[in-house]
Amino acid sequence: MRWTPGGLSSDVEDRRGQSGGGLGGGGLGIVGFIILLVISLITGRNYLGAYFAGGGGTHMSQGAPPRAASPGEDKSAQLASFVLGDTQDTWTKILARENIRYPRARLVLFRDHTQSGCGAARAATGPFYCPADQKVYLDLGFWDQLRRYGASGEFAQAYVVAHEIGHHVQNVLGIERKVRGIQQQNPQAGNRLSVAMELQADCFAGVWANSSADRQIIDQADVKTGLQAAAAVGDDRLQKMSQGYVTPDSFTHGSSQQRMAWFNRGLQSGQVSACNTFAAGG
């Protein structure tokens, strides 16, 4: 990627230096418990067990000194800040063509755990977007996990940030609210709609990648790492790694092939209209 490291933008909320990640050792709370329970059920991974095995966060002393950031971590933070700003500038222009105002999201950088508008945020759950406070939550340690999944490089990280901003775009357009309403009325459609939401966010990330390619921020090698990142976090691959077999009915994000295909569709078209994953059925 072509970018120049610098400071963090005003859209970034850096909580990495907060002792205990901002929770003050106060524990998970009922909202956080429910979130981890739901995530465990739909992914098949026992996040609750991992949480309580680690003492639920209460083992961290409120007076523990914050860990200093390494130069590599600071560079990753600056890259995330750059991508955040560039994706949001891009979406501001795209939506302005439809006379839609784009309210900027914020990126929260944290370590281990913190509090979000959607409840407790933990590193184990990976990056996520919270529509309640319009913030993306990211523990930079996720990049290590992404490398273990087989995706490395700066654009692999950029893809993740662009994907989460894709969820913010869904929120701005009212898609998120509409889908959650349908899921409440028809729980049996929950997983299918969740997959469509995630694939659309992948496609939106591709729309941004199309813009950055036109501006020569990325090249074909970067596109390859973006596709590798999309494949690395496919439900089928993650389930195979964690439990040794695949259960398609429990997918919530889509298969590796689906995620690559929809990211590539956005990349090749550069058009929001190409990202109707709901009509396509994934």
Tens of pLDDT, residues 75-96:
999 999 999 999 999 999 999 9
- Confidence at residue 282, expressed as pLDDT on a 0 to 100 scale: 54
Separation in Å, CA 34 to CA 37, 118, 249: 5, 10, 22
Tens of pLDDT, residues 22-62:
333 334 445 555 555 555 555 455 544 444 433 333 233 33
Average the pLDDT over each of 6-20, 65-79, 200-214 and give the range with the smallest value. Answer: 65-79
Provide the residue range defining the domain that includes 132. Answer: 12-280
> Rounded to 10 degrees, what is the CA torsion of 146, 153, 87, 6?
110
Q: Evaluate if residue 198 carries a pLDDT over 80.
A: yes
Look at the block and give the residue holding tokens 């002792």: 19
The total domain count for the chain is 1
Contacts of 143 (CB under 8 A, 6+ apart): 76, 156, 157
Is 6 within a domain? no
Is 193 within a domain? yes
Backbone angles phi, psi at 112, to 5 degrees: 70, -65
- Under the banding of pLDDT at 50, 70 and 90, the label for residue 230 is confident
Contacts of 244 (CB under 8 A, 6+ apart): none
Tokens of 38: 């739901």
First-to-final CA distance of the chain: 29
Is 265 within a domain? yes
Is 215 within a domain? yes
Is 210 within a domain? yes
| 107, 151 Cβ separation under 8 angstroms | no
* Residues 263, 23: Cα–Cα separation, whole Å: 35
- Confidence at residue 235, expressed as pLDDT on a 0 to 100 scale: 66
Is 188 within a domain? yes
* Residues 239, 212: Cα–Cα separation, whole Å: 32
- Confidence at residue 26, expressed as pLDDT on a 0 to 100 scale: 38
| % of the chain residues with pLDDT over 70 | 76
Is 3 within a domain? no
Quick one: residue 112, left, alpha or beta (phi over 0 = left, psi -120 to 50 = alpha)? left
- Which whole number is the average pLDDT over 218-233? 82
| % of the chain residues with pLDDT over 90 | 46
Task: Give the residues across from 120 on adjacent strands.
Answer: 115
Is 217 within a domain? yes
Tens of pLDDT, residues 96-146:
999 999 999 999 999 999 999 999 998 888 899 999 999 999 999 888 888
Q: Which residue has the higher pLDDT, 70 or 273?
A: 273
- Confidence at residue 221, expressed as pLDDT on a 0 to 100 scale: 87
CA nearest neighbour of 33 among 47, 14, 16: 47
Pairing of strands 106-110, 135-139: parallel
